[in-house]
Amino acid sequence: NAGVMQNPRHLVRRRGQEARLRCSPMKGHSHVYWYRQLPEEGLKFMVYLQKENIIDESGMPKERFSAEFPKEGPSILRIQQVVRGDSAAYFCASSPNADTEAFFGQGTRLTVV
Partner 1 sequence: AQSVTQLGSHVSVSEGALVLLRCNYSSSVPPYLFWYVQYPNQGLQLLLKYTSAATLVKGINGFEAEFKKSETSFHLTKPSAHMSDAAEYFCAVRRPGADGLTFGKGTHLIIQP
Q: Which of 19, 23, 25, 33 binds partner 1 (CB under 8 A)?
A: 33
The contacts of residue 45 (CB under 8 Å, 6+ apart) are: 33, 35, 58, 59
Could you tell me if 90 and 78 are in contact, meaning their C-beta atoms sit under 8 angstroms apart?
no
Of 71, 81, 35, the closest CA to residue 50 belongs to: 71
- Is residue 103 close enough to count as binding partner 1 by CB under 8 A? yes
Residue 45: CB minimum distance to partner 1, A = 4
| Contact status: 25 vs partner 1 (CB under 8 A) | no
The site for partner 1 (CB under 8 A) is made up of: 4, 6, 33, 35, 40-45, 48, 55-56, 59, 91, 93, 98-99, 101-107, 109
